[in-house]
Structure 1
Amino acid sequence: MSKRPQNDDPDNPDTFDEIVDAETERDPDLAVIEAGSRTLRTQAGPPQGDGIPVRPEDPEVDRALREVEKELAGRWPETQLDPSLVRIEALMDVLGSPQRSYPSIHITGTNGKTSTARMIEALLAAFELRTGRYTSPHVQSVTERISLDGAPIPAEGFIEAYRDIQPYVEMVDAGQEHRLSFFEVLTAMAYAAFADAPVDVAVVEVGMGGSWDATNVIDGQVAVVTPIALDHTDRLGPTPGEIATEKAGIVKQGATVVLAQQPVDAAQVMLKRAVEVDATVAREGMEFGISARELAVGGQLLTLRGLGGEYPDVFLPLHGAHMAHNALVALAAVEAFFGIGSQHARTLDIDTVRSAFASVVSPGRLEVVRQSPTVILDAAHNPAGARAVAEAITETFGFSRLIGVVGASGDKDMKGFFEALEPLFAEVVVTQNSSHRAMDVDELAALAVEVFGQERVGVEPRLDDALEAAITLSEEESEYSGAGVLVTGSVITVGEARLLLRRA
């Protein structure tokens, strides 16, 4: 079976959207994917309220959006980094520093950043604040990265945000050794869009690291640090402590630092940084914590001990202990933003907090997208994330047999990833997503065989074939009535699978 060709030409992006559009040209309301002798046919539109936009229905708007996407793709990709804020600072200067016109909550860490950002956003919105949220990477559409009032800006707004700053981008490009990168331009678009809205508060997730990340031209009143683990070690360092040194750069003078549970060396780095800039520190397990957690239908029921007191009977419609900890960190961040702490010991309105958490969605994070068999998507991409997913699935789902579908980027510790999931998977189907960064399927298969053995590893270069193979494996023996499929390894793989398996 031949592998999907990779396109390294940024001026002619071979995106998965284009592949799907070509396959569904005759019937845009349906995704039809032939896989062997069987056809997967599912409704193309995602459910309402999951925060994932689809392609614009208006052909002219869609054309304009594709043109913007193509121009952005022609810039330095997110994976080609220059550790400097010179270009983004120059752009912010000519734009009039829009990022200074609203307060912000800045989020770094290794795992859980996007889910935590979504929860912070939901809490702030419940207290009637207008929010802007900037997160990365996206699951399906680049427009997801910039949200206003809890929803991705529409395609028209994304196009307008780009065209508004384009002359200034070109001006800065002309004066720099390197043009502004894809991520730098998107960051500027977000900050300008938030100022134009205007928002009451921005919730901003770093792209990578902290000190020299393009988002770090803001001075967050609250700096949130989700759990730090080994990832991007070639760029950030080989230990949690060294990685934390880079991430600590988002902690600014006089800010409040909300620390999730951390490895000892990472915690030490963060505490040292806080002392240097006279920041207040709130630590999970000390100033705030989880008092109780129990499984509930569709999620979990929590009692959270915040900075100002206890919040009982909080329903979170997401699975896994790691999501409960993300919720706790989000609550502490919002309390800190409102000035709640040891000097002002009070709680936020409990009914508002409950309502906010009950509304949270986190696409691509232990997301069930199909039943009979159950298909779950999770964007875990490093060993720490894989361990969290394994624990959550073991706790939440009573699978008698689970088949994995794994496609990864080329710079990840996939042997460690497979080792974390080995006790969970009966078999694993390795595959390759459409990104030029994808790990070669044969290389991924060799790592999988090291962990699982040859007899438990299947290879399908195309993701649609891999999904079909995994579903067939889960259904092939009637005794496995509680079988399921987990698609994981990369947010790109999850986004593409989501397009193929959209829920009706």
Structure 2
Amino acid sequence: MPEPEQVTARLAEVEQAVLARTPENQVDPSIDAITALTELMGDPQRSIPVIHVTGTNGKTSTSRMIERLLRELGLRTGRFTSPHLSDVRERIAFDGVPISPERFVAAWDDVEPYLQLVDQRSRDAGEPVINYFQVLTAMAFSAFADAPVDVAVLEVGLGGTWDSTNVADGQVAVITPIAIDHERLLGSTVEAIATEKAGIIKSGAVAVLGQQPREAAEVLLARAGEVGADVVVEGQQVGLLSREIAVGGQLVSVRGIGGEYEDLFLPLHGEHQAHNLVTAIAAVEAFVGGGQERLDVDLVRAAVAGMDSPGRLEVVRRSPTVVVDAAHNPAGAQVVAEAMNEAFAFTRLVGLVAVLSEKDPEGILAALEPVLDEVVVTRTSSPRSVDPDDLAEVAREVFGEDRVHVARNLPEALARAVDLAEQEGGMGAGVLATGSVTMAADVRILLGVR
């Protein structure tokens, strides 16, 4: 068995090799390369049952909920989500725990020889080599098949049809609410985006549709009809029966496919998380018994009470309270604003906002403006972070001159936001850090949250 120092050194080498790949935001809208890679590997993704999750907002939370329910039911789980908050190994998890350094290295060693072959073929053809996200996808498939797990929950990275996870065929395809995002790659209309995301619905699968705008629902239902997939729609077969705010979360009752689940304590904030739970329960019902019978209610209660979603309306500090959320588009920011009003009783709330390029800063800031007294704009560790001065120009159009403050780096910005919150807020002061996943991740790291 290797010594701990050897494992640490080897892990660093592997992480560097993965990071050296083309960044995941530089997308090749094709699954040809990942298909070639997984075929050389023996298609490990086909050796395990899959629940596949896409959508615009709520994918990660819903994936984590599904995995937690499956685990409580006694199944060994694999979970692949993105992006990570502090450690790349978070993306590949077994039974809710990030993959160990030894397994991460082993997965790379399994994939790397075939990766070299596919990379060379791509170079010879003048095509892009496999990128960072695709490599991690292949590593997840290898690790899950090697374990093996009873079921893998796969979150789409981007879109659906040509996302690298789509070389797997989900027995259940989950589509969380669709909105405008990633327009350059997915299209500028809800219909176009829904068309891309509908690609994860496969023949004979069960498609579980969260709350959707009419234009998206029409596209998704048409796709299900074309491939002969069964459909479960929130608001029709399943839904949220009741919801009450509770200390540390909310108390919800859900109508599932197989029956009702009453008085579930969900330790997450926001109505959107209650709707994510509806979708998650329906997905698990469809997976384990075709939705014919209700799940054991006590097991469901235990699973729901143990659910978490790091970086999503997460309190990372008290006095003053600092909340982080990874919302990175207007629809997500709107949900966050509504949840902040509902779940927290701040007498004064200051926003700490950084946005990545190619996003909609005006839309994000406009959604947040009604709940923020002031806003501090800054940048995160991402090289794609919008320059604070440029972001400030947009913020002033939304908030006015006097409510906008600029800080060139995140530590300075967080200190400034805390000072502004405490000036008049007293014990009811709060800071909301949001605008991008890297904002949530960087603030968590800055405050020592792991």
Q: TM-score under structure 2 normalisation?
A: 0.97
Contact 1:290-1:303 at 8 Å conserved across structures:
yes
Tell me the alpha carbon deviations over residues 155-207 of structure 1, each in whole angstroms, 9 at most, x when there is no partner.
22212211221111111111113211111110000000000000000000000
Aligned to 1:77: 23
Aligned to 1:184: 134
Matches within 5 A, 1:224-263: 224-263=174-213
Q: Does 1:376 align with 2:323?
A: yes
Question: Which whole-Å CA distance do the structure 1 matches of 2:306 and 2:396 have between them?
Answer: 41
Contact 1:410-1:440 at 8 Å conserved across structures:
no
Q: Residue 146 of structure 1: which of 92, 97, 101 is its match?
A: 92
Contact 2:174-2:283 at 8 Å conserved across structures:
yes
Aligned to 2:51: 105
Provide the aligned length of Structure 1 versus Structure 2: 444
Question: Which whole-Å CA distance do the structure 2 matches of 1:340 and 1:86 have between them?
Answer: 32
Q: Residue 287 of structure 2: which of 337, 341, 350 is its match?
A: 337
Question: Which whole-Å CA distance do the structure 2 matches of 1:481 and 1:178 have between them?
Answer: 54
Corresponding residue SS for 2:392: helix
Question: Which whole-Å CA distance do the structure 2 matches of 1:419 and 1:59 have between them?
Answer: 50
The structure in which a higher percent of residues are helix is 2
Q: Does 1:462 align with 2:409?
A: yes
Tell me the alpha carbon deviations over residues 242-275 of structure 1, each in whole angstroms, 9 at most, x when there is no partner.
1000000000001100000101110000000000
Question: Which whole-Å CA distance do the structure 1 matches of 2:4 and 2:277 have between them?
Answer: 38
Aligned to 2:313: 366
Aligned to 2:10: 64
Corresponding residue SS for 1:476: helix
Tell me the alpha carbon deviations over residues 354-406 of structure 1, each in whole angstroms, 9 at most, x when there is no partner.
00011111100000011110000100001100111111110010001001111
Contact 1:211-1:246 at 8 Å conserved across structures:
yes
1:309 Cα deviation after fit: 1.0
Contact 2:28-2:128 at 8 Å conserved across structures:
no
1:503 Cα deviation after fit: 4.8
Aligned to 1:348: 295
Corresponding residue SS for 1:242: helix
Superposition RMSD in Å: 1.3
Question: Which whole-Å CA distance do the structure 2 matches of 1:218 and 1:376 have between them?
Answer: 36
Aligned to 1:34: none
Q: Which runs of 5+ in 1 are unaligned?
A: 1-56
For 2:363, give the aligned amino acid. Answer: G
Matches within 5 A, 1:470-485: 470-477=417-424, 480-485=426-431
Aligned to 1:431: 378
Question: Which whole-Å CA distance do the structure 2 matches of 1:123 and 1:403 have between them?
Answer: 36
Question: Which whole-Å CA distance do the structure 2 matches of 1:181 and 1:299 have between them?
Answer: 38
Corresponding residue SS for 1:290: strand
Matches within 5 A, 1:60-459: 60-176=6-122, 177-341=127-291, 344=292, 346-459=293-406
1:302 Cα deviation after fit: 0.6
For 2:375, give the aligned amino acid. Answer: V
Question: Which whole-Å CA distance do the structure 1 matches of 2:213 and 2:423 have between them?
Answer: 43
Give me the identity figure in percent.
58
Corresponding residue SS for 1:434: coil
Tell me the alpha carbon deviations over residues 41-68 of structure 1, each in whole angstroms, 9 at most, x when there is no partner.
xxxxxxxxxxxxxxxx955444333322
1:476 Cα deviation after fit: 2.1
For 1:222, give the aligned amino acid. Answer: V
Q: Which runs of 5+ in 2 are unaligned?
A: none
For 2:28, give the aligned amino acid. Answer: D
Contact 1:302-1:314 at 8 Å conserved across structures:
yes
For 2:90, give the aligned amino acid. Answer: E
Question: Which whole-Å CA distance do the structure 2 matches of 1:285 and 1:396 have between them?
Answer: 24
Q: Which moved more, 1:171-180 or 1:97-106?
A: 171-180
Corresponding residue SS for 1:319: coil
Contact 1:340-1:347 at 8 Å conserved across structures:
no
Q: Which moved more, 1:251-260 or 1:64-73?
A: 64-73
Contact 1:251-1:257 at 8 Å conserved across structures:
yes
**Pair 1:459–1:299, CA change in 2 (3 A):** same
Q: TM-score under structure 1 normalisation?
A: 0.86
